[in-house]
Structure 1
Amino acid sequence: MGLMTNRIMHSILAVAIASTAAIAAKAKPLTVWIMPNGASPQEILEKRLEIYSKKTGIPTKVEVLDWGEAWTRISQALAGQQPAPDVLQLGTTWIPYFASRKEIKPLNENLSTIQPERFVPVSWNTTHIDEDTTIYSVPWFIDIRPVLANKRILAEHGITRDSVRTYEGFKNAIRKINSKDEVLDDGAHVKGFAFPGKSDWNIPHNFAPWIWSNGGSFIKKDENGKWHANILSRETLLGISSYLHFIMDTLVNPEALQTNTAQIAQQFNNGELAFIVSTSEIVMQTRFHGSMGGLSNARIGSDSIMVLPIPKGKVGSVSFIGGSNLAIPASNKRKEAFDLLLFLTEDENLDAYTKQIGFLPPSRKVLQEWAKDEDYNILVRALETGRAYMAIPEWGELEQLLVAMFSAIWEQMEIPSLYSEDKLYETFQQYTAEINKKLNYPTNSMMTAAEFKAAWNKINEEQTPVVEVAKDSTNGVVDDNMKTAPFVFAVMLILGFLFAFLRKRKK
């Protein structure tokens, strides 16, 4: 009996030890790396992950990487130089690079579970390399950049949504606001529009909507499907000129070119700017108090915000679209990693997370609900015509070249003595060659300097504002008198003749 009891006890103990070991193994946390998007992203994500942990018994850990260090940390982790997370956030333009290096896991065998049809096309197209059917990520949120406007300022100037739908209408609205020179109670002058310049990494994103809305592009495929630079096409030059003319027509103060995105956003939040082109997170922030990372108690919160489409160019209104996806390191062996990725991209979690950070959810179903809001309706509709960068592995390097090119242009615009058509052509020519080199594309033929000057001058003639100058009232009277003078002279001559004739008869 005693022997039997001992055997039973040993069996129970063995099972207990095995169970404990299994629980311990199961309890290893799943780690998630994210970047600091919007207001309190870590807090809301950890709340959602608590639901996952309760459901599965697996703890989770969130680590926030600053954008400044994210690329280096992620590159090292995916290359095996430091521990990698189980799931990580990647900017949409980063996906093709890491996918081309086989450093993030293909997800095609799980497509039936992911359900690609749930996502809007402009977002789903960022999950893979251009013209490759292998999927490497799942959409997490969308960064669309519309025109944001201060409702109070627009109302005081009688400016409506319809009046700024076109490029010319937008410029006229800016001119109208600038001419009033409103001064706020803190001494700040209200300006119509401003944007960051050469010291900002968003420069290509800022030029993109004006270029795309005029039919241009940074790169283009030839008849053989090979990518090449498209900077010196007439459509792209028209888009670049459209953006430069905000400075050339003195609608935007050149001092703004010394600022960055954060500083311009702060000016808008302070009620100092009527318009900016920025991320949609500001819209959501106006609905949260400052204690929660919001702006409801800032001046823009009381003035109220309005969302507007990018002003129409030659081919329509095309917004810049970016965002982030979720991926799994290729070296990851845990089955639970995909389960966690799937959980985070469920509609309910996409809705909760994006509502907190202010970016758009990529889910069609969730967007249908968001579209019931007036401001978000504009954003959701803009997804239909908006564009993202090309999903190619070289894009990260191309983007750095574009930053350098546009910074050089802004430097010329900032100091008039540096600006010339020859200098501008040299800049475009240099970076066209460098972009082609990155794309392994031969630069055999290029627009000549003479062709560039002819095209640029014609474009600028079209962009030159037509300013109606009121006639001087005195000159108007003189003009009218000159028109009637012959008639008056004739009448006087006839009357004089009659008077002389009558006098002669009396005599």
Structure 2
Amino acid sequence: MKTKFLAASALTATAALVLAGCGGGAPDSGSDSTARNSADAPVTLTVWAWEPTLTPVVSAFEEKYPNIKVDLQNVGGSADTYTKIDNVLAAGQGLPDIVQLEYHALAQYALSGELSDLTEMGAADLKEQYTPGTWNSVTIADSGKIFALPMDSGPMAMFYNKTIFDKAGIDSPPATWQEYYEAAKKIRALGDDYYILSDNGAAGTATSWMWLAGAKPFRIEGDQLVINLEDEGVITYAEFWQKLLDEDLVNTTIAGWSDDWFRGLSDGTIATLVTGAWMPANLIGSAPEASGDFRVALSPVPNAGEAVNAENGGSCLALLAKSDKQEAAYKFLEFMSVGEGAQIRVDNGNFPSTKAILEDEEFLSHTDEYFGGQEYNRVLAQAAADVIPGWSYLPFQPYANTIYGDRVAGALNGSITLKDALNAWQTDLETYAKQNGFMQ
């Protein structure tokens, strides 16, 4: 996806950017529209979002605010949504008021001045209601600007098939990477089709495991964007993953979210999934045959005794700066994120970003027979508390993610090492950054 930043200003803006959040412009102050400055006038908000739990939120919001109607449009998944946003921004017409963005994509639109700074609307007062990881993902630490409100969070956890673990003689979920490696060998010994996990070259998987290893490959030094895929944590990840690849302990042929992938999770030939805490509803809905087999554990960590974790996924709602319905739109964001809508979304399978719900005993004690009656939200809440602070995304992370798979394809088929693949990715990212004004 081609970014649309002006090279002359991008470097300066990037220097102020905490990449885990975003940067960018404020609302256009030239409009004197009544709808822009008041939520009391009848308005209709256009919202582009793919998250299904927003549907009941809209109904509850319209009941509470009868003057505000919400036209919720699913224009496709995240990639399709970003493409459509780019197209309407370029055309200057057909713009929605509110858009759903993954956390890693937020900086791209904030930096180009397309998003409203919610600080002016009182968003800063909400800080203590969120987990640190989600709040960091929507803010700029240096300036205090806030460019979205969290929808959910994705602290990593290990979803594992206990039935397959028992069959392989694995008595307890692996707590360290070394234990995970040993478990992988036992799973592989069950038969030709059995693997502990799959990896078809997903950037989100790679960056989450890097984060788990304490890596900080993307950062600002002075006024420069630095891309360093030889960071110590990146090397720790690469060496561990290389060992799994070398010993054929990873299924590299099945693409995530494909029918084959869910089939593997259903029959146990893919025995674990280390991913975001939003995964339970997906497993229950798309791998129903595994009901009763799965359990949830904390992510395995590089070193024994560490209480560390990373995020994988998660998204937010942002308000476009060119919308003439700012106040009404912010009311919807707040209702969705920390108002009644937050509980509605959790009740429909969303994983919360707010401390209040994560600490609520009813939430923590929830069970489901799919996970053998385990109170798995207690594990996921701990996973959220363990997230390592300080991770930064690139200000063009969606583009970086789209090229990752091609760069690591050779490592997955054994023709090159993963370190060489990551070096090639870095070269391409630096070239792109220089062409678009993010690096000199």
CA distance in 2, matches of 1:225, 1:424: 28
CA separation of 1:362/1:258 partners in 2, compared to 1, >3 Å: closer, same or farther?
closer
Task: Name the residue aligned to 1:269.
Answer: 266
| Within-5 A mapping of 1:89-488 | 89-111=100-122, 115-129=126-140, 131-161=142-172, 163-181=173-191, 191-198=194-201, 203-222=202-221, 224=222, 226-253=224-251, 256-257=252-253, 259-262=255-258, 263-285=260-282, 294-295=285-286, 298-303=288-293, 305-314=294-303, 317-334=308-325, 335-356=327-348, 358-369=349-360, 370-373=363-366, 374-386=375-387, 390=392, 393-400=395-402, 403=404, 407-414=406-413, 416=414, 418-419=415-416, 427=424, 430-431=427-428, 433-434=430-431, 437=434, 440-441=438-439
**Cα offset, 1:271, TM superposition:** 3.0
- Partners of 2:412 and 2:49 lie apart in 1 by 37
Give the partner amino acid of 1:379: L
Q: Kindly indicate whether residue 49 of structure 2 is the aligned counterpart of residue 34 of structure 1.
A: yes
The match for 1:471 is none
Structure 1 residues 377 and 69: alpha-carbon distance in aligned structure 2, compared to 1, 3 A threshold:
same
By relative contact order (CA 8 Å, sep 6+), the higher-ranking structure is 2
Return the structure number with greater helix share: 1
> Does structure 2 retain, via aligned residues, the 8 Å contact 1:210–1:243?
no
Kindly report which structure 2 residues correspond to 1:12-31, keeping only aligned pairs within 5 A, or say none. 27-31=42-46
Residue 216 of structure 2 aligns to a residue whose secondary structure is coil
CA distance in 2, matches of 1:127, 1:251: 37
Q: Residue 168 of structure 2 contacts residue 186 of structure 2 at CA under 8 Å; is this kept in 1?
A: yes
User: How far apart in 2 are the matches of 1:301 and 1:156?
Assistant: 17
Out of 21, 34, 55, the residue aligned to residue 46 of structure 1 is 55
Q: Letter of the aligned partner of 2:311 in structure 1?
A: F
Supply the AA of the counterpart residue of 1:327. A
Measure the CA separation in 2 of the matches of 1:419 and 1:392. 25
User: CA 1:389/1:266 → structure 2, altered by over 3 Å: closer, same or farther?
Assistant: farther
After TM superposition, give the deviation of residue 350 of structure 1 in Å.
1.2
Deviations 1:353-405 (A, max 9, x none): 1332x34211110111233342122222122333585255333344445x15x
Q: How many angstroms apart in 2 are the aligned matches of 1:428 and 1:77?
A: 30
- 2 CA distance for matches of 1:180 and 1:138? 46
Alignment check: 8 A CA contact 2:213 2:302 kept: yes
The one-letter amino acid of 1:299's match is: E
Which protein has the larger Cα radius of gyration, Structure 1 or Structure 2? 1
The CA RMSD measured in Å over matched residues stands at 3.1
- Unpaired runs of at least 5, structure 2: 1-39, 367-374
Distance (Å, rounded) in 2 between the aligned partners of 1:153 and 1:420: 30
Deviation at residue 150 of structure 1 after TM alignment:
0.9
Identity rate, percent? 18
Query: What TM-score results when the alignment is normalised by the length of structure 2?
Result: 0.76
**How far apart are the structure 1 equivalents of 2:308 and 2:193?**
26
Q: Give 3-state SS (helix, strand or coil) of 1:180's partner.
A: coil
* Residue type of the alignment partner of 1:118: Q
Within 1, Cα distance between the matches of 2:417 and 2:103?
36
CA deviations on 1:443-486 (whole Å, 9 max, x unpaired) are xxxxxxxxxxxxxxxxxxxxxxxxxxxxxxxxxxxxxxxxxxxx
By how many angstroms is 1:339 displaced? 1.8
Query: Are the counterparts in 2 of residues 216 and 235 from structure 1 also a CA contact under 8 Å?
Result: yes
Q: Provide the C-alpha distance between the structure 1 equivalents of 2:357 and 2:165, rounded to a whole number of angstroms.
A: 31
Distance 1:219 1:100, change over 3 A: closer
C-alpha displacement of 1:431: 4.3
Structure 2 CA distance for aligned equivalents of residues 381 and 91 of structure 1: 22
Deviations 1:252-302 (A, max 9, x none): 24xx24533434344213432211223434313455xxxxxx257x22114
Contact 2:276 2:311 in 1 (8 A): no
Do 2:411 and 2:418's aligned partners in 1 also have CA atoms closer than 8 Å?
Answer: no
Distance apart, 1:425 and its partner CA: 8.4
Q: Is the 8 A contact 1:178 1:192 kept in 2?
A: yes
Displacement of 1:420: 6.3
SS at the partner of 1:390? Answer: coil
2: CA distance, partners of 1:353 / 1:379: 17
Q: Which 5+ residue runs of structure 1 have no aligned equivalent?
A: 1-24, 182-188, 288-293, 443-507
TM-superposition CA deviations, 1:288-326 (whole Å, max 9, x none): xxxxxx257x221142x2112221114664323331111
2:249 maps to amino acid: L
Query: CA separation in 1, counterparts of 2:188 and 2:103?
Result: 37
